[in-house]
Structures are given as C-alpha cells and as structure tokens.
Amino acid sequence: MLASGLAANRTLAVLQTHTTAASIITTTSPQVKLPGTIYVSQEGSIYAISGAKVRRLALPSGGVWTQPRVLADGSLLVIRRFDQYSDLYHVSASGHILAQMTSDDQATGNATLQLDHWILWPAIGPDGTTVYFATDSPKPAPNKSYEVDFSLWSSPLSTPFTIGDTGVSGGTRWSVPDLYTGGDIEPVPLPDGGVLYSSYANTGKGTVVTVLGLQTGPTSPMKALTTPQQDCGAPAVAADGVTVAMVCTNAGQTANLEIATLQGNTLGPLHVVVANCLCNSPSWSSTGDDLLYMNASNPDGNFGLWYIADAGGVHPGTARRVSDSSVDLDATSAAAWSSR
C-alpha cells in the first residue's frame, strides 16, 4: 500500500490543480497580447487565447480535459481524465471530436479497477505522424496490482490504439521505469529521433528524485542529463531542437526555471531565467524561442500563465504575466502555442 501510495502521489496526484475562488479565464482579459493561439486548461475545460479574446472549446461534458497539444493542421490532441482512467482524443480547434484514440476504461462486467489504464502527457513526433505518451502499461501484475508506474511509448497517429496489461497494440515501448516511483513521464521527441523525458528514480534512501533522461532509440539505455541533486523535470524543447527549458528544485522548497542546450547526448551548462519560483510546465512558441510557463507568484496562490520573449537568446526578456491575476490555471498542463 505504501508503494502504491507513493506511485499515485508522484504521478496522478500532480494533475490536481490548486483550488481557489478563481475567475474563469473567459471572464478576464489577457494582460499580454501574443500572436497566434494559446491553449490552456482550467477546471476541466480547454480555453483558447487569441490576442485579446478568450474562448472555451466546445468539448463534451464529463471528465477533465487537459494537456492540449497542437498538430500541424491546427487540430489538437487532448487528454480526457476521469477518476480512475484517462483517454486520448483528437479534436478540432473548436473542440469537435475527430477521433477517440484510446478506450482505457475496461472495468465493466467482471473486470476490476486494476484493468483500467492511464494515458497522459501526449507529444507529437517531428514527422507529425507519431504520438508519444506515458501510460501505466505493461502492468507488473495484471488483474492483481493497483501499481501505477508510467513507461513511455509511441504509436502511429493515424489510427486508434489499444492499451492493455501487457503493452500497447501496434505501439513501440521506449522506457522501463524504476518501480514504485511513478515512472517516466513528459516525453519530448527530438528531431534526431531521440526522446527527452522526466524520469522518477529511487535514491535507495526512501526518497524519489527526478532526472532528465535521454534515449536515442526505443532499445537504448537512458542517459541522465541532470543529477539527482538538481532534481530537474518538465522538459520542453524549442523549435531549434536543442534549446531545453526545465524546472529544477535543487533540493529546495522552490524551483528555478532553467535553460540549457543539448550538445549531442549531453546537456550544456544550465542558466537560470526565473529563480525561486513556483514554476511548472514550460512550453515554447511553435517558431522562435519565446517561452510560456505556469507560475504562482501572487499572494492567493493562483497559477498564472507567464511569458518570456527570446528566453533562449543571449538577452532574455522580462517575465510577464499573460493571464489575469485572479485566474488559476492547471499548473501541470503546459500551454500549447499555435501559430494560427
């Protein structure tokens, strides 16, 4: 039970957003007008910010819609999360369902909760035809265990796929996580075919830390690009394919938003762009090196959307809040920035 609780705490629980008497983002005005469209999630809904306008996507009711990812044609991949499972959907920019990619609630008839599955953190491959994701498959003890340790997989985007107790049908497995940690999450496919991700690892001392892991292929060993002492996660890679933003706690109570450059299979020096923050979920503009991230900086603890122009450049801009201070967004759902 302790191990199951640890896994749940380090993975599924992080999806819970901060609860306040916050304003719905559609009732406020963006403080910074940015080009294109930015998709964020709040209280189970997806919203599109376009300049000075904010609209709610007309997604079906039920469940929590989160973690939007923009495809080249302007459509989206989104997660629909329920209390005991989640599914991946392909939707239009307005919220119309184009396809349900998974059906992970298998707890019907004589089946049990252990047969349900989670899929989270979708990402689009550089070729635009492959989706990468984290899922709790394969199960360590099918039909018996409630353990949730995520491993990373990829699958063709063109057809729905099935997540089962022994793997993903038609999918390719990338990672093998440390058990009882929560596993491997937040995959970022790279232009050279590799994958960067957050990996929870056992310290052997009863604690779990996060490192940035890199794999050059599905069967290659993971190489840790950061140290357990740095405790870095939430990677995001800019359009150039080498500039990486991440959140590092450095064993502290707050975090730093840091940037480094991939140099082959190593990571260059880390540079702090925002220090001592409650930062999370960085994401880059579809072109260029402008950076978005979530941060709780105001006294009521609301997580707002923040923006740094030219964050990967020699002289980054000043961090500016995009959302109104009364808005509390889903801190673990990175904003998706479309040029459309």
- Find out whether 210 and 216 touch, Cβ atoms under 8 Å: no
Residue 332: is it exposed, middle or buried by C-beta count within 10 angstroms (0-12/13-18/19+)?
buried
pLDDT above 70 covers a percentage of the chain that reads: 88
CA nearest neighbour of 8 among 167, 136, 139:
136
Residue 109: is it exposed, middle or buried by C-beta count within 10 angstroms (0-12/13-18/19+)?
exposed
Query: What CATH number should be reported for the domain holding residue 154?
Result: 2.120.10.30
Range of weakest confidence among 153-167, 196-210, 285-299: 196-210
- The mean per-residue pLDDT over the stretch 267-294 comes to 95
Return mean pLDDT, the chain: 89
How far apart, in whole angstroms, are the C-alpha atoms of residue 135 and residue 149? 8
pLDDT for the residue 21: 72
pLDDT for the residue 12: 43
What is the token pair recorded at 107?
Answer: 């707890």
- Find out whether 302 and 328 touch, Cβ atoms under 8 Å: yes
pLDDT for the residue 206: 66
- Find out whether 305 and 323 touch, Cβ atoms under 8 Å: yes
Does residue 137 come out as left (phi exceeding 0), alpha (psi in the -120 to 50 range) or beta? beta
Per residue in 3-56, pLDDT tens?
Answer: 333 333 334 444 444 444 789 999 999 999 999 999 999 999 999 999 999 999
In the chain the first and final C-alpha atoms are separated, in Å, by: 47
How far apart, in whole angstroms, are the C-alpha atoms of residue 109 and residue 306? 46
Domain count for the chain, please give it.
Answer: 1
Report the DSSP pairing between strands 184-189 and 172-173: unpaired
- Find out whether 103 and 135 touch, Cβ atoms under 8 Å: no
Judge whether residue 108 has pLDDT over 60: no
- The mean per-residue pLDDT over the stretch 159-181 comes to 91
What is the token pair recorded at 269?
Answer: 């020096």
For the beta carbon of residue 125, count every other beta carbon within 10 angstroms: 18
- Report the DSSP beta bridge partners of residue 154: 132, 172
Q: Domain of residue 243: give its range.
A: 2-338
Per residue in 202-233, pLDDT tens?
Answer: 766 667 889 999 999 998 999 999 999 999 99
Range of weakest confidence among 78-92, 111-125, 253-267: 111-125
Is this model's pTM higher than 0.95 or not? no
- The mean per-residue pLDDT over the stretch 142-152 comes to 76
Q: Return the residue matching tokens 């047969």.
A: 115
Judge whether residue 252 has pLDDT over 90: no
Judge whether residue 110 has pLDDT over 60: no
How far apart, in whole angstroms, are the C-alpha atoms of residue 89 and residue 10? 24
- Find out whether 203 and 209 touch, Cβ atoms under 8 Å: yes
- Find out whether 155 and 170 touch, Cβ atoms under 8 Å: yes
Range of weakest confidence among 61-65, 144-148, 238-242: 144-148
pLDDT for the residue 205: 66
For the beta carbon of residue 126, count every other beta carbon within 10 angstroms: 12
